[in-house]
Amino acid sequence: MTDAKIILAEHLTKEFPIHRSTRKITALHEVDFSVLKGTLTALIGPDGAGKTTLMRLIAGLMEPSAGQLLVLGMKTQGNEQNIQNRISYMPQRFGLYEDLTIQENMNLYADLHGIDKNVREERFSHLLEMTGLKNFTERQAGKLSGGMKQKLGLACTLVRSPELLLLDEPTVGVDPLSRRELWEILQQLVKEEALSVFVSTAYMEEAALCQEVLVMNAGRLLKRGTPADLCSIAKGRCYKAWPKANMPTRILQTMLLDDKEHVVDAVPEGGAVRFIQQNEKEKPRPELNAEPVEERLEDGFMILLHQDKRKHEKNSLSKKNKIFFSGEYSLSEKVDIEVRDLVRKFGDFTAVANTSFQVHAGEVFGLLGPNGAGKTTTFRMLCGLLPITSGFLRVAGVDLRTARTQARANIGYVAQKFSLYGNLSVRENLLFYGGAYGMASKRLKRRMEEVLEEFQLNGQEDKAAGELPGGFKQRLSMAVALLHEPKILFLDEPTSGIDPLARRDFWRQITVLAAKGTTIIITTHFMEEAEYCDRIMIQDQGKLLAIGAPQEIREKVGTKEAGMNEVFIKIIENARERKRLGEKYDR
């Protein structure tokens, strides 16, 4: 191995034994790749691709089953401690101590790594300045927003200057503003310290910022190359089409996805639907009035995944529910959720300030905002999980102040973090929650069969829920939430950490549910998912900033065809600048 290669894998294989079985699961299968010193390299792939397993092998936390893995020129087997002394690793769930302040957390990690007190001041000052945490050093970690926690985790990981930085999905659950700031920090580190960074991510726009990208699926390496190499896979195959008047973009997307003979992938974007043709020589159907668009990394990624899945796997979700559009679409006059002057305070802190809006029956309504905006607090009040301080809140025709239990009978809820019983099997979880919902045995049996089929959990019934891959955990959470056929479904960042292919499957299910009349309330940090919503509400620092259909909000900020990521950032930054100027003049 030359000095230029900081990681080298040859025929790398990792197997795990199956509990109470002589068989084994192959998490990585003869993977070959190298990572050059001083580069920013991305690792992408769907759930169960083997990304975290590979990260843990590189960090010396596991041993390969076969093949060879060299890190910093050393074989990982037998050199685990030597490697760990020279690298830094930030796993998905980085262990911050929530009752300690920012400064105390950094001191603790410096102590654990034996960092000399004489060099800490300069290193800490640089990290705190870079991460924007300099003015918050006395704040407890448990009181930080999600984005600030991730930045503190990165700062703690970098209390020493490593030769290699491993990051396992560092921006999961982080809003677009904080994601942008984190990636600016990473790019600055690579430039200033010639740091080698190996990062896994679910965001294709993040992978596009790296010098090289590795694409994995089901333990296999499908492709390695520059972002431009991956883009070129989709060259001449990408188009966008606009929905008919009054047609939600999610309906057109689903209709395109159902056309598997001609279409690889489709996703709402900027008021239109972007799609990929199966064949570059075949033009889209004339009635779509489609126009070509420039290919991007995500297009190449989706083509690779679909090609590999056709070779090795069955379709990921049932497609028995077809979507038909009659040509007429408008919001129902029936209101399922009514909010007036909603306020929630925690002591002297106002988390939600005088918010008012309505959600209509069968509507897909999105709650958006940066970390700490108050959207989760709003969400929990709507679900009846948190009492309101003042104002009026009616859900499914019931006043939550006086009949919270009655309202909950009409609600399904999928939490941000997997909250089912991990030691119970899939079947046992469904039976338990069916009993908690008070479902009669005959109805419960019928509904269990239906949701197992709908979310393709057949064959998984006896597996412990906690041992399922992330995508299957999400499917089980959805199945449990919909078991009692609620009128309203609340989804709190349900696609956080889930790859683009799984997100397409998930949103197809949401489209089917909404078409059948279920009201959907969703929070998300994937701004492109706002395009699936009939209306969205953007809030920051407890205040409502914008509400309306995605296209209406785009037009209000003067960007008719912009992506929702750009629109979101513009709205938040403009509001914060107005507040800053107001405070300046008030003084």
- Reduce the DSSP state of residue 448 to 3 states and report it: helix
Residue 460: Cβ within 10 Å count: 18
Instruction: Assess whether pLDDT exceeds 80 at residue 10.
Output: yes
Write out pLDDT tens, residues 468-510.
Answer: 877 788 889 989 999 999 999 999 888 776 777 778 888 888 8
CA distance 334 to 488: 13
Taking alpha carbons only, the member of 217, 234, 197, 218 closest to residue 55 is 197
pLDDT mean across residues, the chain: 87
Residue 30 banded pLDDT, cuts 50, 70, 90: very high
What length is written for the chain? 587
Write out pLDDT tens, residues 195-235.
Answer: 999 999 988 999 999 999 999 998 999 999 999 999 999 99
CB 76 within 8 A of CB 69: yes
Instruction: Assess whether pLDDT exceeds 60 at residue 285.
Output: yes
Any idea which fold 5-229 has?
Rossmann fold (3.40.50)
CB 423 within 8 A of CB 464: yes
CA distance 525 to 532: 13
Instruction: Assess whether pLDDT exceeds 70 at residue 21.
Output: no
CA distance 296 to 233: 9
Q: What is the pLDDT of residue 586?
A: 44
Span 365-381, average pLDDT: 85
CA distance 419 to 99: 23
The number of angstroms, rounded, from the C-alpha of 431 to the middle of its chain's C-alpha atoms is: 29
DSSP 472-491: HHHHHHHHHHTTT--SEEEE
- Fold match between domain 5-229 and domain 332-410+487-550: yes
Write out pLDDT tens, residues 331-340.
Answer: 788 999 999 9
Instruction: Assess whether pLDDT exceeds 90 at residue 561.
Output: no
Structure tokens at 366: 């999105």
CB 137 within 8 A of CB 152: no
Q: What is the pLDDT of residue 28?
A: 95
Residue 456 banded pLDDT, cuts 50, 70, 90: confident
Q: What is the pLDDT of residue 40?
A: 94
Looking at residue 98, its amino acid is: E
Q: What is the pLDDT of residue 583?
A: 59
Q: Is 38 exposed, middle or buried (0-12, 13-18, 19+ CB in 10 A)?
A: middle
Structure tokens at 197: 């960074």
CB 504 within 8 A of CB 305: no
Structure tokens at 586: 């008030």
Cα angle for residues 65, 68, 71 (degrees, 5° grid): 115
Q: What is the pLDDT of residue 317?
A: 46
Taking alpha carbons only, the member of 527, 577, 580, 522 closest to residue 554 is 527
The number of angstroms, rounded, from the C-alpha of 213 to the middle of its chain's C-alpha atoms is: 19
> Domain-by-domain residue ranges, the chain?
5-229, 239-312, 332-410+487-550, 421-486
Q: What is the pLDDT of residue 20?
A: 62
Q: What is the pLDDT of residue 585?
A: 43
Q: What is the pLDDT of residue 318?
A: 44
Span 72-100, average pLDDT: 91
Write out pLDDT tens, residues 154-201.
Answer: 889 988 889 999 999 888 777 788 888 888 888 888 888 889 999 999
Taking alpha carbons only, the member of 90, 92, 97 closest to residue 140 is 97
Write out pLDDT tens, residues 224-271.
Answer: 999 999 999 999 999 999 998 878 899 899 889 989 899 999 999 888
Instruction: Assess whether pLDDT exceeds 60 at residue 321.
Output: no
Span 520-542, average pLDDT: 88
DSSP 530-548: GGGSSEEEEEETTEEEEEE
Structure tokens at 336: 């399922």
Q: What is the pLDDT of residue 497?
A: 64
Locus of tokens 């003869």:
30
**Which pTM was predicted?**
0.82
Span 436-455, average pLDDT: 91
- Domain 332-410+487-550 listed as CATH 3.10.450.50: no
DSSP 494-540: TTTT--HHHHHHHHHHHHHHHHTT-EEEEE-S-GGGGGGSSEEEEEE
In the beta sheet, which residues pair with residue 464?
Answer: 425
Residue 217: Cβ within 10 Å count: 26
Phi, psi of 75 (to 5 degrees): -65, 135
Instruction: Assess whether pLDDT exceeds 90 at residue 278.
Output: yes
Alpha helices in 358-454 (DSSP H): 375-383, 404-408, 426-436, 441-454
Structure tokens at 393: 């809140």
Locus of tokens 């949701």:
451
Residue 439 banded pLDDT, cuts 50, 70, 90: very high
CB 419 within 8 A of CB 490: no
CA distance 237 to 251: 21
CA distance 265 to 307: 12
Pseudo-torsion of CA 123, 125, 128, 131, nearest 10°? -70
Span 555-581, average pLDDT: 83
Write out pLDDT tens, residues 118-142.
Answer: 888 888 998 888 888 888 999 999 8
In the beta sheet, which residues pair with residue 313?
Answer: none
Instruction: Assess whether pLDDT exceeds 90 at residue 102.
Output: yes
- Reduce the DSSP state of residue 205 to 3 states and report it: helix
